[in-house]
A and B are shown apart, each in its own frame.
Chain A
Amino acid sequence: MKHRGRYGDYGGYYVPEVLIPVLEELEEAFDRFRDDPAFVAELADLSAHYAGRPTPLYHAKRFSEHVGFQVYLKREDLLHGGAHKVNNTLGQGLLAKHMGKSKLIAETGAGQHGLATAMIGALLGMETKIFMGVTDVARQSVNVHKMKLCGAEVIPVEGGTGTLKDAINDALRYWTAHVTDTFYLFGTAAGPHPYPMIVRHFQSCISREARQQFLEQVGRLPDMVVACVGGGSNAIGAFAHFIDDPDVKLIGVEAGGQGVATGKHAASIVAGTPGVLHGARSYLLQDEEGQVLDTESISAGLDYPGVGPEHCYLSDIGRAQYVAAEDADVLETFGLLTRIEGILPALESTHALAYVAGLKGTLAPETVVMVNLSGRGDKDVGIVEAHRPLE
């Protein structure tokens, strides 16, 4: 299945020549350190005491009652920084340190990966620059402020729609000119090889823990695992240790925006065609010429026209199923979970919840569904208020 970063026909390294030696250096370092006992011990210690792993697996009884089957939330929202992103930034940050790099750069959409990188930059004493589209800087100002408080420089990126795609373009350009001392801490399971492999590795703790927790708390594996998909890092982490369990259905929920039929969405697998962007072949939202399209979603973290290559492969072979949730349903579900469980989900993660809420009444009551609650929604309160003002 995998060959030089290939997942079936997807993935690869479609980058300018200047980045090839750097990506090879990164792959070598990852191979050297991933199972190195000192590296593993350092990461385990920080994951436990800095980030807050393991995260709980919570049986959301009132939400379960509402939908008519058993819903368990994997509480990645309780991690330091408020999202699953820290799993990856701790891993890659330590890798950067072991490689002798002194500076970190990262792209960010919603700001969660930017914040998680800024935290690790502060923790490890590394100079950090975060590239963020101007649209996202405006709609995620709280995270921008937090990144700056952690000492990171936030670089607003114009061009395109000023969202995640544009931030990645500029981060890649900056990296090209600063490859010697700078580590590009890529946030999602997309981009050129070896990033999809590295991000999957550091995020797979989600499903490793969840699998064990299901066996202990429920006595069996879930029937279904549901996660939102932008680039796909939390989803690949939530799927990884269930992929070999054929009875566990895997569902990725993409951003349906104003509806897939309107063209205003970010549902790459649901509505895209194969293409090459940011170093990898994946499903891509593009026009008939191959120009990459602008995307639209209420959630900045899912606002991306490509998607991780392994998800494309899992979709093609039928192992995972990909669907889309629309903004309106996401807002509805945000309100629901908040009112009946007292949990504010990130709008990204709410896509997964919205799909599950949509299954209401269609599954047997004993059905067990895990939703990866990848982040908390504090950052989104302003957006929700703008769309659904409180009385």
Chain B
Amino acid sequence: MKSYSDVFSALRREKRAALIPFFVIGDPDFDNSLALVKATIDAGADILELGIPFSDPIADGPTIQKADIRAVRSGMNVRRAMEFIRQVKQYRDIPIGLLMYYNLIGHYGTEAFFRDAHAAGVNSVLVADMMIDDAGEVLGPIRAAGLDSVFMVTPNTSPERMRRIAAKTTGFIYTVSVLGVTGSRDTLSDSVQDLVRRLKSLTTVPICVGFGISKPEHARAVADAGADGAIIGSRIVGMIEAHLDDPARAIAEVSAFVRQVKAALSTSG
């Protein structure tokens, strides 16, 4: 199974940042969600960030919250999400990070969840509502299952805390570009380049930037600041929402957009 370090080492040789699209598994339904993910892999995704839908996603803005509701209504649950991941991995060996809310993990059984996720082909699990100081609840089982750990750093995280987060992170640091929840934004936050540079001076763990990366030039800007990857969620999920009556069109638009981002990340800077 391809690891994050395989991907990040190869990309560093090519001097390129990873393109990481985010999807809610099962949005708008199992089959169309799978077709979207496969099309995105074909369009050049280097890593996938996938969310198992939760009823009350407090770190997410309205776009992803609505996707969570669509996916839950379509019958998505943790077991079917594991099957979804197996099918993605059968299509292509691409690293997969899961973005989760703790209640689903706790309910499934913490150890069983991480074990089953690893068996399905997941590389890492980020628990959006679990902070580093309480991470003991999940870190042991994450490591025991053979998964990488991913934690968030935000613009208001102190340097001392950044170091502690980096020390517990083996996959990549999910760097939140803005104070706020997920969502498309017209402009990239001015502070994100500075945040990436500060993190880079503290750790060698790969840095991927998310929240508000909505345009090819945003991805390019965080790559130029030294980020190892750009995570794009709400912009893509918004395209799915805009074409719920025409899934083929959603797939075409998402693919075209991902190709544009890939092109922006691939030109030499």
Question: What residues of chain A have their CB less than 8 Å away from a CB belonging to chain B?
Answer: 4, 12-18, 20-22, 159-160, 165, 169, 172-173, 176-180, 275-279, 284, 286, 288-292
Contact = CB atoms under 8 A, between A and B. Distances in A.
Contacts, number: 107
Nearest to B108: A290
Given A17-B151, A18-B179, A289 B77 contact: yes
Given A173-B58, A290-B108, A16 B103 contact: no
A14 B102 contact: yes
Contacts of B104: 289-291
A16 B129 contact: yes
Contacts of A4: 133
Given A276-B103, A289-B78, A291-B54, A21 B180 contact: no
B176 A286 contact: no
Interface in B137-161: 151-158, 161
Contacts of A277: 56, 103
A13 B134 contact: yes
A18 B156 CA distance: 7
Contacts of B181: 173, 176-177
Given A275-B106, A277-B103, A290-B107, A13 B58 contact: no
Contact of B103 (A17, A169, A286, A288): A286
B65 interface: yes
B248 to A, nearest CB: 28
How would you classify the secondary structure of chain A's contact residues: helix, strand, loop or mixed? Answer: mixed
A20 B155 CA distance: 12
Given A277-B103, A289-B78, A290-B106, A16 B157 contact: no
B151 A169 contact: no
B5 interface: no
The CB with the most chain B CB atoms within 10 A, among A13, A17, A18, A278, is that of: A17
A162 to B, nearest CB: 13
A17 B61 contact: no
A169 B154 contact: no
Interface in B44-87: 54-56, 58-62, 65, 69, 72, 77-78
A22 to B, nearest CB: 8
Contact of A291 (B55, B157, B165): B55
Contacts of B78: 289
Contacts of B55: 160, 291-292
B153 to A, nearest CB: 7
A159 to B, nearest CB: 7
A279 B65 CA distance: 17
Nearest to A279: B129
A171 to B, nearest CB: 10
Contacts of A20: 131, 157, 161
A17 B107 contact: no
Contacts of A12: 134
B56 A292 contact: yes
A259 to B, nearest CB: 23
Given A289-B104, A291-B55, A15 B129 contact: yes
12 contacts: A4-B133, A14-B131, A16-B58, A16-B128, A159-B62, A159-B65, A172-B58, A176-B179, A276-B101, A276-B106, A289-B104, A291-B104
Interface string B192-223: 00000000000000000000000000000000
Contacts of A290: 54, 103-104, 106-108
Given A16-B58, A289-B78, 10 more contacts: A12-B134, A14-B134, A15-B131, A16-B152, A17-B151, A18-B152, A159-B65, A177-B181, A279-B58, A279-B129
Nearest to A22: B156
A177 B179 contact: yes
B130 interface: yes
Nearest to A290: B107
B180 A176 contact: yes
B102 A17 contact: no
Interface string B110-133: 000000000000000000111111
A286 B107 CA distance: 10
Contacts of B77: 289
Contact of A278 (B58, B134, B161): B58
